Structure 1
Amino acid sequence: MSGSLTMLEAGEVEDLTASAVLSAIRAQRVDEERAAAAQLVLAAQWADLHPPESIHDAAAFTVPGCEHEEPIAGQGAPLVAEFCLAELGTVLGVSTTAAKKLVGHALELRHRLPRLWAQTQAGRVPAWRARAVAEVTIHTTPALTREAAAFVDAQVAAVAGRVGPAQLDRLVAETIKRHDLADVDPADDPEDGYLHVDPRHATIHDDDVHYAGTMRLEAELDIADALDLDRALAHGAASLKALGSDMSLDARRSAALGDLARTQTALDLAGSGADPQHLPAAREVVLHAHFDASLDGLATVFGPTGRMEEGQRLVLLDQIRGWCSDSRTKVTVKPVIDLNADLSTPAYGVPDRIREQVILRDTTCVFPWCTRPARGCDVDHVDEYDHAAEAEGRPQPGPTRTANLAALCRFHHRLKTNTTWRYQMTEPGTFEWTSPHGNRYRRDRHGTTAIDPPDPPGIPRPRRP
């Protein structure tokens, strides 16, 4: 059996012995790791071909909750034109952000972690391990200098990349101390320098929703804050039990945490003698839930499960009822919008009703493989609006109407405006994009699919039966 085996027919698999299966899957893994290493080389080459130009800013990552951006690779790595990454991402079938990470990791490894890069290309370190190290060295705070990154590179390469997340964090902390990258007084540092990498965080994993409609919360707190929170949850759980709750202790503690969040806005007023009935609503959130419904006589009957517009997540009807029945929850019912209606206005600005219709139709940014929620996107005129058309007596080529509007996140809106990326709406909610290199993609409510690429010059495409 060939070591470069890449495809097996079903019949061939059934004829393999146990030893042959192990041999084949080992060969597949070797091929997979070799391909991942080669992909890093190609990503770095793509970056080399696209340095920043006058119309292209350098690519960077937006930092959530901050006003600054981080470069896609560390100090000493070359800059990359931001818009070139969209083409790479669509060819790979991933988002532009994922393409940024791939290129950033490739440049970080090649320019700042050369030992690890060499081991990856030699097949001694899997690409995924090397990329995990690069991800840390790119985004460490404070930023690692080239010398500091070289120190990390030497330590990680010495163990052939076999370093876990905790070990890597401690290595980076030691590097920061060794290279005096943070102004820390050793007398105030009882943990030998490791404390100036602040581990505190509170993260809601809203991309990982359980089928029961729950999310996971992960946090690293100051000791005093953690003990105070523990006591508050214990008190809240006990209060719920005293009020007759039959939930488990864990479930009551979870509910108590939600109660803390909802009442936080009223804490100051609660202690000032204000009438609780006149306190501001602690929860004011707009949720868009979609349920199948039918008529039973004059009553509307909803199905037991539906989906949240935000993240296309499963939601239970009982949960919606529970949220709405909370006495301190402000409920706003918005009118139903017919997604099939073609709404329009003679003005350039998009009215709220048309914007809402476009958001509900598109659900996300309509650029290939982009998953940014449409509610945070711009509403773009697919065919450009001509502000001088009315004054010059010409028909408007880009009217403000549903059939000429689409949701685009700010980055892909700028991409469409400033580059030769083009798209058109072939039917409501379905868009066909053409890249600067002639690659074509279809995006609809089911996702993105690549359309057959153009024929190379002088090479006719064979006819299909």
Structure 2
Amino acid sequence: MTALLDATDSQMAMLADLVAGLEAAEKTLSSMQAARDGLLAMAGRLAVEIARDARDPDGGDMAIRSVAAEIGAAQRVSDRTIERRMSDASWLVDRFPAVWAAQGQGRISAAHSRLIVDAGAHLDDKTDRERFAAEAIALAESESPNRLRRLVRRLAERFQERTITERHRTARRQRRVWITELDDGMADLRMRGPAALVHGMYDRLSQMAHAVQKENTQRAKAAARDGGADAAPRDERTIDQLRADLLADLVLTGSPSGHDTADGLLGAIQARIEITVPAFALMTDDGAAGTETPAELDGVAPMDAETARRFACAASGWNRLLTHPISGAVLAVDRYRPSEELRRHLRARDQHCRFPGCGIAARKCDLDHNHDAATGGPTVHTNLSTFCRRHHMLKHHSPWHVTQRKGGVLEWTSPTGRVYIDHPPPPNTVVFTDSEPSPF
């Protein structure tokens, strides 16, 4: 049954009113949260002013604690929580006033503000922060927080004084593994390390977990066919549980011996990550600070050029993305050993599920004919896009409708008639203005 097709006109009108009401409520909440941040920042300033006038030797620490305790007692909240909120609010209001103002106007949410502030936290130059904030706000007005995270991280790189290569070398010194004790005889094992290695470890664990689950399902089906009443009980572990058990196997025994198949298939599984590397980043010179366009891991996290070059040299094959030198749009994708060219092109263009607000990586998504192939839709990139399984099903089994426009822009029409435009994310590439000569 197709969802909402049997709804009456009055029910659809009520849905449209609910959507509009929730939209207005969300803007009001964002504005009120901004107002609260303003008051908390003022409370912090007042505490510092009192301490300064009294020439307190602790630099205002006790005054801030006292003010936080006063506010916390009134709100029935821990004074430590209030002190942390005061610090966060002061950082937003004082260092990113444009972001605070945009939230106060209901143009962006508190979640958008936090992402922008976190991404630009290390920008010490006021002019750089203002330029970064202006561009980040424009992005936030049209993107969901989960999509915004990768975009503002990429944007912040343009204003960093130190290159990502320099910062990565420093950050690598902080790599470590530690334990956090939990209740009920449990504990967290945490690791901080180079993103490429961590993502690769997680991917290999995921592949192994899915392989174990698939084999368990096949065994259960075979036992059911054979009518084996004495067969071993079915393995009901989730993928998360299998990942945890496999990690314990690998760390404690050096191999997934407790889960491996008779043919040793799990041990043969290799880690897999996707890295986008601008051609300039493959050159030996890292470039001047603030001008280097870093590589990008799975479209999420920046990667230093040195690590990217090392992976590129070791890779058995890699895709080449041809982009427009000014707009940055993906023009074509090819490979030294071509295969699945169209799929690679779409993964490079879309990067994630193209339903508004969804950030599921393209490599985990389905390919959809926007104009159904069964009714004559061609299998070309101008009629294909990547949707996660959830939104793929929504498109086919509800009145949601999508049309692809020029440049890979998707126009979604909701059941209430609202139109949402989803632009393909900008690729991680170098672009030039009309006044700049192309180096090629």
Q: After TM superposition, is the score higher than 0.5? A: no
**TM-score, normalization: structure 1?**
0.36
Asked which structure has the greater RCO (Cα within 8 Å, sep 6+), the reply is: 2
**TM-score, normalization: structure 2?**
0.37
Q: Which protein shows a greater Rg?
A: 1
